[in-house]
């Protein structure tokens, strides 16, 4: 039997891409699509609070906005529903809420669901040997992306700070055209310029990652997980 999925942020670009993949899946099916632009009907809900599970045991995949993220986490915790989320632009309070919810339900949050970006994160540990270089993180996205720097750029920046044990300049963010996502780590000395770069060629790389994450998470115990955990 297919596992039910509640897709939050279903009307957005990522939500639509995830729905396409789930509709071609043998393991999952959409139970409800949630978006503030929807009216409540058999398949859609304006808010996750409008959902009555009626004994069903779904998972939530959330690509919504920081403004409703807290309510999504709280609903999942109250209803004992596992959560996969790629929502970015979160506050410290959101992360505290996420950590508390992880005590009772399995949660996988990642600023970037692509396999490649998480491979890049693993490479960052190798940069400790050139910690005296100058470093600069850059992110490039489409002109409709709300948050800048991106959640992924912040993650890369934090990874670098932990590895290098030093402060770094602020992330440089560019919002232009229809760029799906480019992230660069520049390491520069007087003699060399090393670039670690990841380019997303389309949104399906993130959507496939989200569905992969849901498959990995569905039988896990309560806890806070990341894509790095899923790729071990």
Catalytic residue chosen out of the listed positions 46, 145, 215, 218: 145
Q: Helix H segments across the chain? A: 13-23, 66-79, 92-101, 115-123, 151-164, 204-217, 227-230
Rounded to whole angstroms, the Cα distance separating 33 from 43 reads 6
Active-site residue, 141 included = yes
* CA atoms lying within 13 Å on the CB side of residue 190: 0
Which tokens in the block code for residue 35? 């978006």
Query: How far is Cα of residue 39 from the mean position of the Cα atoms in its chain?
Result: 26
Active-site residue, 145 included = yes
Instruction: Please give the span between the terminal C-alpha atoms of the chain, in angstroms, as a whole number.
Output: 27
DSSP per-residue string spanning 121-133 = HHHGGGGGGGTTS
Active-site residue numbers?
141, 145
């Amino acid at each position: 039997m297919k596992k039910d999925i509640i897709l939050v942020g279903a009307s957005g670009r990522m939500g639509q891409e995830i729905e396409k993949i789930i509709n071609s899946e043998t393991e999952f099916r959409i139970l409800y699509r949630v978006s503030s632009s929807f009216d409540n009907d058999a398949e859609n809900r304006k808010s996750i609070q409008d959902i009555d599970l009626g004994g069903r045991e779904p998972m939530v995949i959330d690509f919504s906005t920081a403004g409703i993220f807290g309510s999504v986490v709280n609903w999942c915790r109250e209803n004992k529903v596992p959560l996969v989320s790629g929502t970015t632009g979160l506050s410290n309070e959101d992360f505290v809420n996420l950590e508390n919810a992880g005590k009772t339900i399995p949660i996988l949050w990642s600023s970037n669901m692509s396999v490649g970006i998480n491979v890049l994160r693993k490479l960052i540990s190798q940069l400790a040997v050139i910690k005296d270089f100058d470093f600069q993180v850059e992110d490039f996205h489409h002109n409709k992306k709300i948050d800048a720097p991106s959640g992924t750029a912040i993650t890369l920046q934090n990874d670098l700070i932990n590895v290098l044990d030093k402060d770094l300049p602020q992330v440089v963010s560019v919002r232009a055209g229809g760029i799906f996502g480019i992230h660069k780590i520049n390491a520069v000395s007087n003699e060399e310029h090393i670039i670690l770069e990841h380019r997303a060629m389309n949104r399906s790389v993130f959507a496939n990652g989200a569905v992969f994450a849901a498959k990995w998470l569905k039988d896990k115990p309560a806890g806070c997980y990341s894509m790095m955990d899923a790729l071990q």
